[in-house]
Structure 1
Amino acid sequence: MLKTICYISDATRNLDFSVQDEIYLKAKANNIKNNITGVLIYKNFNFLQVLEGPDEIVDKVYKKISTDPRHTNLFKVINTKIEGRIFEDYNFGFTVIDEKTELNNLYEYLEWLKMGHNKLANEVIGMVENFIEN
């Protein structure tokens, strides 16, 4: 069974580019290895991440993230079973958003997803768009 968790959190400190790169590279490698799809966005001292994948693995990954000292105030916005992945076809499955070009690509992908009229997908899209725009 597939599951998605979408969370937001505060960074415990401003992350310079080297720390951001370290987080992004590790997250991308681990998520690809664990068959996790989704996105990770860091903006204005905040993270938003969508994780999609096998039920137990998504829970395990989230549990590990929740103990990472670089996060505080973790809040699960979505924690539910899913029939299909939202981000499976986006940039090889898991993307770290750290450049304006990637934000634009993500926004275009979200616009394309909206045409599918999937209620859960539209909730995730709305949260990601709000995070990007604010």
Structure 2
Amino acid sequence: MITQLLYTSASRYPRGHPTDFQILAEALERNTQLGVTGYLLRDLASFCQVLEGPDASVDLLFSEIARDTRHDRVVVRMRRQVTERAFLGWSMGYASLSPVDAEFLATRFADGRGGVLLAFDRVGRIAATGSWAVPGQGSTGARRAQKKRRAEGPAFDVCDVAAITRRAGPPARS
């Protein structure tokens, strides 16, 4: 079984701050070492992240994340056991949240467990259509979504993120 954990937190810095790039670079490396896959979403002031992998690896990684001083108000929104990964092939995907997506997620998190499942589904759809972390994977719709997200605020340069992804290599399989 694979453990999936979804959490949110408040960033101590605005989106586009150099610490965002540091977080992504560290996550790519550490997740690969631990056999963890996942996806990090960023709006102007907060993070939403899904981690998935072996139970002990997810627990270790999340304990490190919870102690990270670059964010606070860390809240586990969902933890569950599943038979397969939702983000297979992503040592760490990344996307900026649009204001509409951020509002949707905030509302769903307030709705309790049923809302969190809807939020998890939305994270998966954002990953499928709006990722910047995997080079060469993007439809015309995904490119439009990327342009829209870029217009909404500062974000990582796609070339920088792609370079980190290539260096990190593929995640370990469970």
Using the size of structure 1 for normalisation, the TM-score is 0.70
SS in 2 for 1:85: coil
Instruction: Tell me the equivalent position of 2:162.
Output: none
Alpha carbons 2:19, 2:70 under 8 Å: kept: no
SS in 2 for 1:88: coil
Instruction: Tell me the equivalent position of 2:95.
Output: 97
Give structure 1 regions of 4+ aligned residues with deviation exceeding 6 angstroms.
Answer: none
The separation in 1 between residues aligned to 2:42 and 2:91, in whole angstroms, is 18
Alpha carbons 1:28, 1:96 under 8 Å: kept: no
Instruction: Tell me the equivalent position of 1:22.
Output: 22
The reply to whether residue 44 of structure 1 matches residue 40 of structure 2 is no
Instruction: Tell me the equivalent position of 2:65.
Output: 65
Larger Rg: 2
Instruction: Tell me the equivalent position of 2:7.
Output: 7
Matched residue type, 1:95: G
Alpha carbons 1:37, 1:94 under 8 Å: kept: yes
The separation in 2 between residues aligned to 1:122 and 1:13, in whole angstroms, is 28
Cα deviation per residue 1:93-132 (whole Å; 9 max; x = unaligned)?
A: 43122599xxxxxxxxxxxxxxxxxxx97651235669x9
Cα deviation per residue 1:13-43 (whole Å; 9 max; x = unaligned)?
A: 3254422111111111111121111101221
Instruction: Tell me the equivalent position of 1:35.
Output: 35
Using the size of structure 2 for normalisation, the TM-score is 0.55
The separation in 2 between residues aligned to 1:30 and 1:121, in whole angstroms, is 26
The separation in 1 between residues aligned to 2:122 and 2:97, in whole angstroms, is 20
Aligned length: 112
Structure (1/2) with the larger strand percentage: 1
Q: 1:125 aligns with which of 121, 124, 134?
A: 121
Report sequence identity in percent: 23
